[in-house]
Amino acid sequence: MIFGLFALLSTLISAESTTNEVTRDYCSLPDAIYADGVSAADFGATGWSYTNAANWADFVVTCGGSFQSPIDIITTSSAQEAIQPQINYKSKDASTGYEEANKPYTKEYEGEYSEIEVTDASGSVIRYYAKQFHIHTPSEHTIDGKYYDLEIHFVHQAIQDDEQDCNKVKNKLTVFGIMFQESSSATDYEAFKPWFDSNVTGEIDSFDLNDFFSKMSDATYYHYNGSLTTLPCSQTVNWVVFQQPLPISSTQLKQFQDFLSDSTLFPIKHNNRPIQNLNGRKILKGTAITSGVTEIPDVQGSFAQIIAMAILITLLIQ
């Protein structure tokens, strides 16, 4: 019995170490078709910038497509979704860190977070993994013509595995757009501090998008097919834009706005693309279900859990 216990324990520990090394096969994104070789990294006075946003199609032809973002969301023209999909973070890994990315046109954190399940604008339920989040100020989307002080995009990419075929996923990306409005009573968000506070490292050790959802008293969202809002403007984005703005302190808003103080890169002091034509697209409206979701079982149990499991199984087979 003891020998069997240790053999089983060894097997389980070995399995745990194997499952810790997770490699994901992400659905590939379309390559941009460039008019003159300009890449998304060529941001600045001699390349693309927000001063020449009206002419981005001259740099990258996809920026002249019919399904471009951002848009003005006219709430009275939106259609109610027949089924209210769950925006479901299947697992919450608070130990997963995000590191600051070197992007000249925004402030961005990159780092895989966890699996979500969200309904695509085509009606299909697709699984994604969070990849990065970044800022635009003022907001890129408008709601009934209104701009907000800040918009943060939480970018998720679809995966290929035994349960999901990338060839059947129309929108390889789902992006959540959350608005922020300056408030004198708002407290600073811990997740934003590493960007600016000198006494904080450039990595977020713990991050959970549910922390933002929990602050919403109204989880109404608007849902449409669109594009990236920077080059290469790929039209492969399932957009989910939330209606209720969250408060942001004057201090943190100013820190984001001060990022745009370089007159060479941002002579017009903003990094939001102009509103694009809707071109007949449908805007769907729903209410996100973001709480009360059961997490998937953690197969990477603690050492104590593994021992307990081994003992239980050994006793059962005697």
214 — alpha (psi -120 to 50), left (phi > 0) or beta? alpha
The residue extents of the domains of the chain are 1-20+300-318, 33-296
Phi then psi dihedrals of residue 300, to 5 deg: -100, 65
Candidates 110, 108, 146; CA nearest to 259 is 108
In the chain, the amino acid numbered 83 is I
pLDDT of residue 291: 57
Contact 290, 244 (CB under 8 A): no
Provide the token pair at 27.
């659905």
Query: Angle 146-175-232 (CA atoms, 0-180°, nearest 5)?
Result: 95
Chain centre distance of CA 52: 26
Phi then psi dihedrals of residue 24, to 5 deg: -105, 145
Query: Tokens 């969250």 — which residue?
Result: 246
Provide the token pair at 316.
């059962």
Residues 6+ apart with CB under 8 A from 103: 134
Cα–Cα dist 248/6, whole Å:
54
End-to-end CA distance of the chain: 8
In the chain, the amino acid numbered 289 is I
In the chain, the amino acid numbered 81 is E
CB atoms within 10 A of CB 215: 12
Class of domain 33-296: alpha beta
Instruction: Please list the residues that pair with 158 across neighbouring strands.
Output: 128
Contact 20, 300 (CB under 8 A): yes
pLDDT of residue 147: 98
Cα–Cα dist 44/259, whole Å:
14
Helices (H), the chain: 2-19, 56-59, 193-196, 210-213, 250-258, 303-317
Candidates 151, 161, 172; CA nearest to 30 is 172
Helix (H, G, I), strand (E, B) or coil at 179: strand
pLDDT in tens, the chain (318 residues): 433 433 433 443 344 433 444 578 999 987 766 666 666 678 887 789 999 999 999 888 899 999 999 999 999 999 987 766 667 776 665 566 778 888 899 999 888 767 888 877 677 888 898 888 999 999 999 999 999 999 999 999 999 988 899 998 889 999 999 999 999 999 998 888 888 887 676 677 667 777 788 888 888 999 999 999 999 899 999 999 999 999 999 999 999 999 999 988 899 999 999 999 999 999 999 887 665 444 433 333 333 333 343 333 333 344
Contact 141, 104 (CB under 8 A): no
For the four alpha carbons of 228, 230, 78 and 87, in that order, the dihedral sign comes to positive
pTM (two decimals): 0.82
Q: Are β-strands 88-89 and 115-119 bridged in parallel, bridged antiparallel, or unpaired?
A: antiparallel
Cα–Cα dist 88/290, whole Å:
6
Query: Angle 243-109-88 (CA atoms, 0-180°, nearest 5)?
Result: 50
Cα–Cα dist 215/186, whole Å:
12
